[in-house]
């Protein structure tokens, strides 16, 4: 289906193929903002739009996902597995969504955009522009006859500024380490 959004109203370009109850929830997205192929999913949450509430979902491995029983069961999902593949990635949700009351929110690593126009903006904060420029200059040096000692100097300078930019991005917070008691009583 497609349609023209105007605020919270979407006028559909074609009619629906089945009847829909009044007050039913409808979800839409703009194709310009569509998620491209994530490199990997870091974490996930189920967001209940009726509640509203939010709780974490387990990101599991391929073996763990395919060892689960009943892949067509429907309920509130509690586990996901993501296979990035070469073209479009495949997301597996277990169990499958049973209603439209829940949304899946994920945190992921995004592919970097290609630079194919002078108006493109890098997918990096501004503090990375200098190390990117110096690194690119070092890599293009042989094509422009830059001596190897000058290319090495450019690369070392790029690494210095890259490390400085990376030091600004460290997340601050506390780390608590303790035993996982969830399995202690279940195994007795």
Q: How much is the pLDDT for 36? A: 75
Q: Work out whether strand 38-48 and strand 53-59 pair parallel, antiparallel, or are unpaired.
A: antiparallel
- Sort 138 into a burial class: Cβ within 10 Å, 0-12 / 13-18 / 19+: buried
Helices and strands in the chain: count of H runs, count of E runs: 3, 9
Q: Map residue 182 onto helix, strand or coil.
A: helix
Q: How much is the pLDDT for 1? A: 54
Instruction: For the chain, give every domain's residue range.
Output: 21-110, 126-167
Q: How much is the pLDDT for 2? A: 66
Of 72 and 56, which is predicted with more confidence?
56
- Does residue 87 surpass a pLDDT of 70? yes
pTM of the complete model: 0.65
Residues 176, 109, 127: CA angle, nearest 5 degrees: 85
CA–CA separation, 12 and 1 (whole Å): 7
Of 170 and 72, which is predicted with more confidence?
72
Question: For residue 85, what are its two tokens?
Answer: 């593949």
CA–CA separation, 80 and 42 (whole Å): 11
Per-residue pLDDT tens digits for 101-145: 889 999 999 888 777 888 888 788 889 999 999 999 999 999 999
- pLDDT average, residue stretch 54-70: 92
């Amino acid at each position: 289906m497609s349609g023209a959004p105007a605020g919270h109203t979407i006028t559909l370009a074609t009619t629906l193929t089945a009847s829909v109850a009044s007050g039913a929830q409808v979800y839409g997205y703009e194709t310009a903002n569509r998620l491209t192929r994530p490199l990997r999913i870091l974490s996930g949450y189920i967001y209940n739009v009726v509640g509203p509430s939010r709780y974490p979902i387990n990101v599991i491995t391929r073996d763990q996902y395919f060892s689960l029983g009943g892949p067509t069961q429907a309920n509130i999902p509690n586990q996901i597995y993501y296979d990035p593949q070469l073209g479009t990635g495949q997301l597996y949700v277990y169990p499958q969504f049973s209603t439209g009351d829940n949304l899946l929110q994920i945190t992921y690593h995004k592919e970097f955009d290609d630079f194919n126009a002078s108006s493109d903006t890098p997918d990096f904060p501004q503090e990375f522009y200098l190390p990117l420029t110096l690194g690119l200059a070092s890599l293009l040096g042989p094509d422009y006859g830059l001596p190897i000692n000058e290319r090495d100097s450019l690369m070392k300078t790029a690494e210095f500024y890259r490390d400085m930019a990376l030091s600004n991005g460290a997340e601050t917070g506390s780390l608590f380490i303790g035993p996982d008691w969830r399995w202690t009583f279940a195994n007795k």
